[in-house]
Chains A and B, each alone.
Chain A
Amino acid sequence: MKRMPEALIMAISAIVLGILAGALLMVSIGSNPIAGYYHLMRGSLMSVMRIGNTIATSITLILTGLSVAFAFKTGLFNIGASGQMLMGGLCAVIIGLNVVIPRPLLLLLMIAAAFAGGAAWGSVPGFLKAKFNVHEVVATIMMNWIAYWVVYYVVPTYLKGAFLETESRILPAQASLRAPWLTNLFNGSYINLGIVIALVAVFVIRFILNRLALGFELKAVGFNRHAALYAGIHVNRNIILSMVIAGGLAGLAGVTFYAGYAVNMQIGVLPIQGFDGIAVALLGANNPLGVLGAALFFGLLHSGKGFMNAMTGIPPEISDAIIATIIYFTATSLIIQRVWVRFSRFKKGGK
């Protein structure tokens, strides 16, 4: 029998442990975990519309997951996908609300703006890391909160609607990634053209990492910065470039969320998708295809939670708790490894 790749065993073990932890939480409040998970799955899969919504939820996660995974490949930890997503979304929404040009051009411009906004936000920690060796984790956290407050003041000042101070005007239909044919195909779901962006991104990133010299250089920097330098690779340039692309990907997540899943931008929220992206990247073993699969799985968890809450009374935060548990167990994969090693030894020894 062909051996399963280790990353897959780890991912499945972490998922199983996460689901067990979720079941434990359901039991702890006196709910039936089987009913809970049943309704969670029904909530995300029971109709064509709900499947569409699940995919729509996953689109954003694919892109934030790719963002984190891409930076990981260069040995950088991008905790800042949230902030980059906000800035990408903000740039796209500003264009969408103010520019009047034919729809295809407008959408392309919004997508480009989103990439640029996220890339700009990612470039700062990248630059600080390359030039001053500032730890990117702290720098990206600071950038997250700067983005949070930028959105907090820019939206009410320049983009607010007639009634609410806390959100922007609603994007006109022509500036939305939702397409009537796609919406109708999925019986009126939130699914949108972001799926194209996400899938293209998965394959472009895969191509960069596996086929281009650039990808090789980025990975070399991630494996061993000093060896890469010795081999004549411009380490600093690659660090900045890695964060720019990672930021751009998170920026794209912003346009798919604020101009696709949602119809406008709200203030006072640091999008959870940025942090979920860390879970997606870890579970997907930083592999673009793995990211795609992991994002679909997390999309399932997020998309069905409202229905589960309505049917069973289990609070929707259960999904976030499961995802956090999965991150925890992927980080501590050593414990899973030890158990597996012991288990396989036991099988061999026992004959």
Chain B
Amino acid sequence: MWDIVAQIFPYAIAYTIPLLITALGGLFSERSGVINIGLEGLMVIGYFCTAITVRYLEPVMPPGTAVPIGLLAGFVGGMIFSLLHALASINLNANQVISGTAINMMAGALTVYLARTITGSGNILIRTGLFRRTVPVLSQIPIIGRLFFTQVYSSTWLVLAILLISWFLLYKTAFGLRLRSCGEHPGAAASAGINVYLMRYLGVMISGAYAGLGGGIIMVTYSGEFGGTVAGLGFLALASLIFGQWKPFGVLGATFFFGFAITIANVSQVIPEFAVIPPLILRVFPYVVTLLALVVFSKSSQAPKAIGQPYYPGQG
């Protein structure tokens, strides 16, 4: 059993990381009071921006430099695209779920449209992404060394660092307190002198940037080819947010759980221990668990109180 765990662990981490960073983005948006169903689309935007940047820089830049710039492009691209959602839900009092749905559809259509124009096929292939590395000394530590320091992508460390920074930002700084207050009671926040609009804009933009980075990481780690969809990972990130009850480390646990579940479903056919379980059960497992979690948490949900409600100046 231990061997199987150690074997699939690197893959589970590879799936967890894009989910984690995207869900963390969603955390900022929803904590500021804006539902972001558009995470899926924002991931696609990042996926596309990273792909196109790496494709064009790869031949002309020194090796190893195109990928970080590509990831930055995904980050920025997601942030810019999320402004559409921010404008709709913060300034124009739009239904945030509808706006998010529009973002998802627009991202899918727009990126494939552009990709088709550029490459003809709608797919964008890159030659080299990130490499898996084994950390020299730390990988010798028993158990932990094998699980966390063997065959890891550097993006994993980046995202874990962002997780810690995000936690610090949200819970240990004035900014975090202000952002969270806008999601709980924007009227009270405003009367304390907080600019609710600004906070919500920042929340949505961080969610766009993180989701874009998440899409970019998919591109340079396990995918290697842009295909116009992230196959529901953005929605799974949304589910992780609920499952993790809108807390950074809760989200970490939830995304790791989903990352592992996806990996088991992917490899179940080649590992005899899992082959006895019908693949359908393994595939729908994350979604069914989310539905159950929604039921279990329904009585004591930690959801931000003002989530999804537009803010009007002067409201009590």
B295 touches A275 (CB 8 A): no
Complexed CA–CA distance, A317 and B291 (Å): 33
**Chain B 113-127 residues near chain A, CB threshold 8 A:** 113-114, 116-117, 122
* A315 interfacial contact with B, CB 8 Å: yes
B131 to chain A minimum Cβ distance, whole angstroms, is 30
* A47 interfacial contact with B, CB 8 Å: no
- CB within 8 A of B288: which of A137, A146, A278? A146
Known A-B contacts A275-B101, A328-B106; the reply to A138 vs B113 at CB < 8 A is no
**Chain B 86-124 residues near chain A, CB threshold 8 A:** 87-88, 92-95, 97-99, 101-106, 108-110, 112-114, 116-117, 122
Known A-B contacts A134-B294, A320-B108; the reply to A25 vs B92 at CB < 8 A is no
* B238 interfacial contact with A, CB 8 Å: yes
- The number of residue pairs between A and B whose CB atoms lie closer than 8 Å in the complex comes to 129
A315 touches B295 (CB 8 A): no
- CB within 8 A of B92: which of A152, A153, A317, A334? A334
Chain A residues with CB under 8 A of B105: 275, 279, 320, 323-324, 327
* B224 interfacial contact with A, CB 8 Å: no
Complexed CA–CA distance, A270 and B235 (Å): 13
A327 touches B102 (CB 8 A): yes
* A346 interfacial contact with B, CB 8 Å: no
Complexed CA–CA distance, A331 and B106 (Å): 14
* B84 interfacial contact with A, CB 8 Å: yes
Complexed CA–CA distance, A139 and B293 (Å): 11
Known A-B contacts A142-B287, A145-B287, A334-B92; the reply to A282 vs B294 at CB < 8 A is no
* B61 interfacial contact with A, CB 8 Å: no
B74 to chain A minimum Cβ distance, whole angstroms, is 20
Complexed CA–CA distance, A205 and B97 (Å): 25
B109 touches A132 (CB 8 A): no
* B290 interfacial contact with A, CB 8 Å: yes
Known A-B contacts A138-B242, A278-B98, A318-B113; the reply to A331 vs B298 at CB < 8 A is no
Chain B residues with CB under 8 A of A150: 280, 284
Complexed CA–CA distance, A29 and B280 (Å): 42
B239 touches A142 (CB 8 A): yes
**Chain A 76-121 residues near chain B, CB threshold 8 A:** 77, 79
Chain A residues with CB under 8 A of B110: 25, 317, 321, 324
Known A-B contacts A141-B235, A328-B102, A331-B102; the reply to A79 vs B291 at CB < 8 A is no
Interface size on B, residues (CB 8 A): 43
Known A-B contacts A323-B105, A328-B84; the reply to A317 vs B116 at CB < 8 A is yes
* A332 interfacial contact with B, CB 8 Å: yes
Known A-B contacts A327-B105, A328-B102; the reply to A315 vs B284 at CB < 8 A is no
Q: From DSSP, what is the main secondary structure of chain A's interface residues?
A: helix
* B283 interfacial contact with A, CB 8 Å: yes
Complexed CA–CA distance, A323 and B101 (Å): 11
Chain B residues with CB under 8 A of A138: 238-239, 242, 290, 294
Chain A residues with CB under 8 A of B284: 145-146, 149-150
Chain B residues with CB under 8 A of A234: none
* A74 interfacial contact with B, CB 8 Å: no
Q: Mark A130-157, 1 if CB is under 8 A from B, else 0.
A: 0011110111011101101110111000
**Chain A 122-181 residues near chain B, CB threshold 8 A:** 124, 128, 132-135, 137-139, 141-143, 145-146, 148-150, 152-154
Complexed CA–CA distance, A328 and B104 (Å): 11
A332 touches B94 (CB 8 A): yes
Known A-B contacts A141-B235, A315-B112, A334-B93; the reply to A132 vs B98 at CB < 8 A is no
* A34 interfacial contact with B, CB 8 Å: no
A77 touches B97 (CB 8 A): yes
**A-B CB contact pairs (8 Å), 22 listed:** A77-B97, A132-B295, A134-B298, A138-B239, A141-B37, A142-B288, A146-B284, A148-B232, A153-B278, A153-B279, A275-B104, A315-B112, A317-B109, A317-B112, A317-B116, A321-B109, A324-B105, A324-B110, A327-B101, A331-B88, A331-B98, A332-B92
Q: Which residues of B contact A (CB under 8 A)?
A: 37, 84, 87-88, 92-95, 97-99, 101-106, 108-110, 112-114, 116-117, 122, 232, 235, 238-239, 242, 278-280, 283-284, 287-288, 290-291, 294-295, 298
Q: Which residues of A contact B (CB under 8 A)?
A: 25, 29, 77, 79, 124, 128, 132-135, 137-139, 141-143, 145-146, 148-150, 152-154, 270, 275, 278-279, 282, 315, 317-321, 323-325, 327-328, 330-335
